[in-house]
Amino acid sequence: MIRFTQIMPVSLHTINREMHERCALCRIRSYSFCRALGEGKLKGFTSISAEKIYTDKQNIFLQNENSDSLYNITEGNIKIYQLLSDGRIQIIGFLYPGDFFGSYSKKKYNYSAESIGKTKVCIFKKDLLDAYLEKNMELAKELLNMTSHELMLAQDRIGVLGKLNANERMAKFVINISQQRSRIGWQDNPVSLPMTRQDIADYLGLTLETVSREITKLKTSKLIKVLNSKQIYLLDKARLLSLCH
């Protein structure tokens, strides 16, 4: 058995703060489901969660693993994806700070989750969170609200993948990224694309070649400016919006 106290280079003061004030100090709380909790409840809430930091391309969990935990992003990005038996990948979504993920209703995870860049998450054991919800109705309702909102976003994505062509999907993608950023108080233009072209392709149900071509088309038709491969500027939001309905 490993005795952590020997190898963790943190002062008692830091541990104390970590143990009790993490939620109180959290900068994205106002964008997370925990915003439903009053200040007085934050210490108690911190105690039923743990924080974990991931570097680039680490798995948070894998599809079909037993799911005993739920997660909240506090920093960085996560991609959630499903694997088909022949190796094809579908990226379900790119998640941002404030996003909640995991599987509340099921015993196994329905998708895999992987960090994009340095990423911080809060981890909640399902049984602990569940017990906490019993006594904190406001949190349960906020969770219902957020899940319902996520469902709406998923339904929009069904529309994108079912009916839009490559051109329209790409326009929708950059518009969505921009909107997502402003939702959590970041500048909405220019936007950074932390994921690779292959990731974008697997997200939009296209190939990376098509994604690349469509970006070039948006560029030549003066709808966007490509600052570098991971940074683009939206030149004409109105036309981009009209493109993706």
Partner DNA sequence: CGGGCTATTGACGCCTGTCAACTACGGTGG
Partner DNA sequence: CCACCGTAGTTGACAGGCGTCAATAGCCCG
Q: How many CB atoms lie within 10 A of CB 71?
A: 20
Q: Is 104 in the site for a second copy (CB under 8 A)?
A: yes
Give whichever of 57 and 245 is closer to a second copy, judged by the CB atom.
245
Rounded CA separation 1/4 (Å): 9
Cβ–Cβ under 8 Å, residues 193 and 177? yes
Query: Per-residue x/- mask for DNA, residues 121 to 160, rule CB under 7 A?
Result: ----------------------------------------
Rounded CA separation 144/121 (Å): 20
Cβ–Cβ under 8 Å, residues 236 and 178? no
Among 46, 72, 180, 210, the residue binding DNA under the rule CB under 7 A is 210
Q: Is 226 in the site for DNA (CB under 7 A)?
A: yes
Rounded CA separation 53/55 (Å): 7
**Residue range at the interface with a second copy (CB under 8 A); choices 14-22, 26-34, 197-205, 217-225:** 197-205
**Residue range at the interface with DNA (CB under 7 A); choices 18-26, 116-124, 151-159, 221-229:** 221-229
List phi, psi (to 5°) of 112.
-95, 155
Query: Per-residue x/- mask for DNA, residues 169 to 198, rule CB under 7 A?
Result: ---------------------------xxx
- In the block, residue with structure tokens 């976003």: 153
Give the gyration radius of the chain's Cα atoms.
20
> By C-alpha distance, which of 233, 213, 208 is closest to 223?
233
List phi, psi (to 5°) of 218.
-60, -35
Give whichever of 56 and 138 is closer to DNA, judged by the CB atom.
56
Nearest distance, CB of residue 175 and DNA, angstroms: 17
**Side chain identity at residue 66, one-letter code:** N
Q: Is 215 in the site for DNA (CB under 7 A)?
A: yes
Q: Is 22 in the site for DNA (CB under 7 A)?
A: no
Q: Which does 208 bind (CB under 5 to 8 A by kind): DNA, a second copy, none?
A: DNA
Pairing of strands 69-83, 100-102: antiparallel
Binding site for DNA (CB under 7 A): 165-167, 196-198, 205-213, 215-216, 226, 228-230
Name the site residues for a second copy (rule: CB under 8 A): 82, 84-86, 88-90, 92, 103-106, 110-111, 133-134, 137, 140-141, 143-152, 154-159, 161-163, 202-205, 245
